[in-house]
């Protein structure tokens, strides 16, 4: 059984996911990161680049869209660690197209990865947290889950679903001191975004009142606030970090 607090993170190899892992390790968490089997080589390079030790980050190789296999892998990881204190649901993909031209495959791929996997990952973790009488769950949604986005009906629907899911689960977990919240980032300076043409990035920044992209560190810091000592009285909430792009 791990003597350190344990955090599960999905989508750990992306720009935001990497920074979340970085800050969790810095806060002395042991991180369990889910990685699809085809990214196994990338995982080794990622560990080297981040300077993490084997005792800091453990990888669970599984395809989260395969419910049976992923559930078994996650349950085995929980059993091995003996506890789970934090879950960050960060895995996600895009398959953009106007709805008129969107295929059912494009729709299904995004819903399967971004929304259906919430059940697969969260169910065993949530049950362990109920048993422990404590835990924190943070879903990484998106500003587009709040306002919608042209050409992203699939992505917007999935990210909105993450918010509704968190509100419902927060009500179920509250009596067991399990807090469930959402972080909804706006446009963030991940490698994928910064690789865009300069004029495209500038056009995005011009839409944002603060006139810049978010930094991954800012998104991860919000997660750390929600899972930290001052986040104990927050549940069922969505923390928007979008530079004023969408104000509620």
Beta bridge partners of 137: 87, 180
Domains and CATH numbers, the chain: 6-187+215-239 (3.40.50.720)
Q: Which of 29, 155, 225, 233 is catalytic?
A: 155
| 225 belongs to the catalytic site | no
Whether residue 181 contacts residue 138, with contact meaning beta carbons closer than 8 Å, is answered with yes
Split at pLDDT 50, 70, 90, the class of 151 is very high
What pTM does this model have?
0.95
- Per-residue model confidence as pLDDT tens digits over 192-202: 788 889 998 99
- Per-residue model confidence as pLDDT tens digits over 6-43: 999 999 999 999 999 999 999 999 999 998 887 777 88
pLDDT given for residue 225 in this prediction: 99
Q: Which residues contact 145 (CB under 8 A, 6 or more apart)?
A: 156, 158, 159, 160, 161, 162, 163, 184
Instruction: State the DSSP H helix or E strand holding residue 110, giving kind and residue range, or none if neither.
Output: helix 104-111
Whether residue 154 contacts residue 110, with contact meaning beta carbons closer than 8 Å, is answered with yes
């Amino acid at each position: 059984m791990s003597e350190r607090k344990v955090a599960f993170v999905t989508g750990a190899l992306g720009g935001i996911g990497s920074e979340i892992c970085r800050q969790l390790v810095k806060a002395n968490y042991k991180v369990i990161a889910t990685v699809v089997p085809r990214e196994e080589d990338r995982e080794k390079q990622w560990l080297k680049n981040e300077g993490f030790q084997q005792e800091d980050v453990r990888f669970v190789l599984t395809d989260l869209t395969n419910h049976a296999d992923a559930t078994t892998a996650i349950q085995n990881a929980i059993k091995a660690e003996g506890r789970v204190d934090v879950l960050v649901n960060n895995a996600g993909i895009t398959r953009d197209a106007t709805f008129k031209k969107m295929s059912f495959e494009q729709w299904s791929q995004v819903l399967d990865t971004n929304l259906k996997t919430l059940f697969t990952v969260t169910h065993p973790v949530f049950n362990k947290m109920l048993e422990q009488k404590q835990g924190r769950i943070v879903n990484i949604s998106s500003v587009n889950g709040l306002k919608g986005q042209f050409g992203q009906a699939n992505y917007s629907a999935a990210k909105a679903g993450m918010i509704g899911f968190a509100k419902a689960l927060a009500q179920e977990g509250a009596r067991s001191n399990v807090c469930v919240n959402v972080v909804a980032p706006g446009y963030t300076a991940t490698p994928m975004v910064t690789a865009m043409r300069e004029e495209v990035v500038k056009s995005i920044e011009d839409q944002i009142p603060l006139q810049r992209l978010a930094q991954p560190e800012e998104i991860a810091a919000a997660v750390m606030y929600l899972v930290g000592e001052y986040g104990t009285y927050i549940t069922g909430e969505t923390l928007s970090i979008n530079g004023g792009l969408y104000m509620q």
